[in-house]
Structure 1
Amino acid sequence: MNKQNNKDTNITIYSSEPLLRHPKKLFLGMYRDLLISKELAWRLFIRNISAMYRQTFLGYIWAFLPPIVTTLVFTFLNSQKIFHVGETNIPYPAYILLGTLLWQVFVDAMNSPLRSFNQSRSMLAKANFPRESLLLAGLAEVIFNFFIRLVLLFFVIIYYDIKISMLILYAPLGIISLLCLGMVFGLLLLPVGALYRDIEKGLYIITSAWFFVTPVVYPAPTKWPASIICDFNPVTPLLDFARNAFTGIKSFETEKIILINFIMIIFLLLSWILYRIAMPHIIERMSA
């Protein structure tokens, strides 16, 4: 469904003509809706964060528990030689914690579009509002949770006396890259996941398996055939880039990271277009 705005009268005209036939209007509409989504996105973000932590006994402690538990478990397994990873460039507990925090950014971003959609199903069926507000609210949740967990990382850095260099200025680029990659996967899965709950349930299984084939708690393998898994894993170069930037290790190719981000921006734009086109049909199916 295509809609056009009359600037003089503020009337929205709906048309059954496909959006892709008028790419200029499509992109202008995307840009306009993104700008006017900010206020509603903020309100949705506050609502979702309040609902997430209000009805829990431990509150914000839940944000710290997953990385802490993961760090303790793998540190114990490594100390007992059950899961031996060899040498890492920083103390192993800090290595696990940092890797887990970065991995969680990707996973949270991937789950964000579908989670935001499910949280606002009733509102989507009753009111017409810029759908981009759901995406912005979800992104704000991911960033908020990351900054809460980042406090834990700073304590670990101080405890292990990890030296911070100017390379840490590259870290935000790595974090944003993981965020965007997660959003690409999340937006691509949303049209199907909104209609079938199997996707939401399956994502937990997929990300659990994906965790173990991504160098989150171990250095990326360099020997074949294990190395080939990391080579075809899109998360690997971005996670390693962000972790190395945090720890001051210059072992990444800047040109490769720029190329990956350029390709990812294209896919992010395409997945956003898919989201715009699919949402009216999804809401129509929900209301039927």
Structure 2
Amino acid sequence: MSQTDKKHHQGEAKLNPSSNKVNITKEMPVVVYQPDSRLRHPILLFTEMWQDLLSSRELAWQLIKRDIQAQYRQSVLGIIWAFIPPLIAAAGLTFLRKTGVFNIGETDIPYPVFVVFSMTLWQTFTQTLTGVSGASRTAKGMLMKLRVPPEAFVISQLGQILFNFAIQLIPIIFFFIWFRVSVTWSLLLAPVAFIHLLMFATAIGLFVGPFSCLYGDVNKVMSFITRFWLFVTPIIYPVPKESIWAIIVKINPVTPLIVTTRELATTGVISQPLGFWIASIVSILGVLLGWIFYRLAMPFIVERA
């Protein structure tokens, strides 16, 4: 079924962070469903998507505040947990490298900075993937009761992830200063590559999310995939130059996104420009197609639930 027309009054939902409840301030909309596919009316579909994206800002903001407060409310260390994992990983890998147990060759920047920065980027990538896919489950529960823009739940997850990343930048800046890592003007362009990395993870999450609402095995499969994905991404080692492993690492679409972000923030020399632009185009198209799929799939997920 497809949603093709909205009549009468538009309902407005607001989330109360303290009580985790949604208050209805106006009458709920009367929605008419028809059997024809909404893809037959692309202009109407994109108009609805854009309007709902704009109208979801307030609800998304309320969800962001609620989730961040709930995340650190009953935690003794609070926001420190945001950057403990990459610091522990960097300390352990640096120790193994100095003792000769783990030999990965030379890196362009001091290895502790290399690992901390790379692990933070990877952690943000995986959090975006799992967070956006999990937004479908959250949206399903609320869409069963209320007519609210499903995009609000995706935006709220992205907002929470960006907040955590901002906290994780604190130890990274400290490492840059401590190890005297020089930066160039290209640092200003690093956020562009970082946004493309988040867009790639968001695209995957938008496609996977509706399936995870129907099949519990999807989350387990994605967990195994991300674990293996870590080892074929140059996070704890530089990009290999030769061998079959080097080919596998280079065809990994996440490799040019993470490597370019890291290079723009440090040396300023981009080693994989072609791969970066290909991965960026795939990320942009993936978000657009994933948004359409997410938009069309959620009504069926709610109906089946």
Q: One fold, TM greater than 0.5?
A: yes
Q: Kindly indicate whether the alpha-carbon contact (under 8 Å) linking 2:68 and 2:160 is maintained by their aligned counterparts in 1.
A: yes
Alignment-mate amino acid for residue 233 of structure 1: N
Percent sequence identity over aligned pairs: 37
| RMSD of equivalent CA atoms | 1.9
Q: What SS is found at the alignment partner of 1:194?
A: helix
Q: How does 1:132-151 map to 2 (within 5 A)?
A: 132-151=151-170
| 1:49 match: secondary structure | helix
1:234 lines up with 2:253 in the alignment: yes
Query: More deviation in 36-45 or 106-115?
Result: 106-115
**What letter matches 1:258 in structure 2?**
W
Using the TM superposition, give the Cα deviation of residue 11 of structure 1 relative to its aligned residue in structure 2, in angstroms.
5.7
Residues 1:166 and 2:167 are matched in the alignment: no
Would the aligned equivalents of 2:254 and 2:279 in 1 still touch at CA under 8 Å? Answer: no
- SS of residue paired to 1:126: coil
1:191 counterpart residue number: 210
Structure 1 residue identity aligned to 2:160: E
> Alpha-carbon deviation of 1:170?
1.4
Contact 2:184-2:266 at 8 Å conserved across structures? yes
Matched, 1:178 2:179: no
Q: Does the aligned pair in 1 maintain the 2:108–2:267 contact within 8 Å?
A: no
Structure 1 stretch displaced more, 34-43 or 197-206: 197-206
Aligned equivalent of 2:233: 214
Per-residue Cα deviation, 1:194-237 (whole angstroms, up to 9, x for no partner): 11222223322221211111001110111120111112200000
Aligned equivalent of 2:43: 24
Is contact 1:105-1:178 (8 Å) kept?
no
**Which one has the bigger helix percentage?**
1
Q: Deviations over 1:130-170 (max 9, x none)?
A: 00001110110111111110111001111111111101011
How far apart, CA to CA, are the structure 1 residues paired with 2:184 and 2:212?
42
For residues 21 and 96 of structure 1, what CA distance do their matches in structure 2 show? 49
Partner of 1:154: 173
Equivalences for 1:1-288 in 2 at 5 Å? 1-5=2-6, 12-254=31-273, 256-286=275-305
Instruction: Give, in angstroms, the shift of residue 191 of structure 1.
Output: 1.6
1:4: how far off?
A: 2.2
- Structure 2 contact 140–298 (Cα < 8 Å) conserved: no
**Aligned residue identity for 2:69:** S
Deviation at 1:264, TM superposition (A): 2.0
Q: Taking structure 1 as the reference length, what is the TM-score of the superposition? A: 0.93
Give, in angstroms, the shift of residue 6 of structure 1. 5.3
User: Quick one: which amino acid aligns to residue 201 of structure 1?
Assistant: K
CA distance in 1, matches of 2:74, 2:135: 18
Runs of 4+ residues deviating >6 angstroms? 7-10
Which amino acid in structure 1 is aligned with residue 82 of structure 2?
Answer: A
- Considering Cα pairs closer than 8 Å and 6+ residues apart, tell me whether 1 or 2 has the greater RCO: 1
Residue by residue over 1:249-284, the C-alpha shift from the partner in whole angstroms, topping out at 9 and shown as x without a partner, is: 313354553343223211211111000110001111
Task: Give the TM-score normalised by the residue count of structure 2.
Answer: 0.88
Indicate conservation of the 8 Å contact 1:105/1:175, yes or no: no
Task: Confirm or deny: 8 A CA contact 1:181 1:264 kept in the other structure.
Answer: yes
Q: Residues of 1 paired with 2:248 and 2:272: CA distance?
A: 19
Is contact 1:172-1:242 (8 Å) kept? yes
CA contact (8 A) 2:140 2:301 kept: no
| Structure 2 segments unaligned to the other structure (5+ residues) | 11-28
Amino acid at match of 2:239: A
Contact 2:196 2:284 in 1 (8 A): no
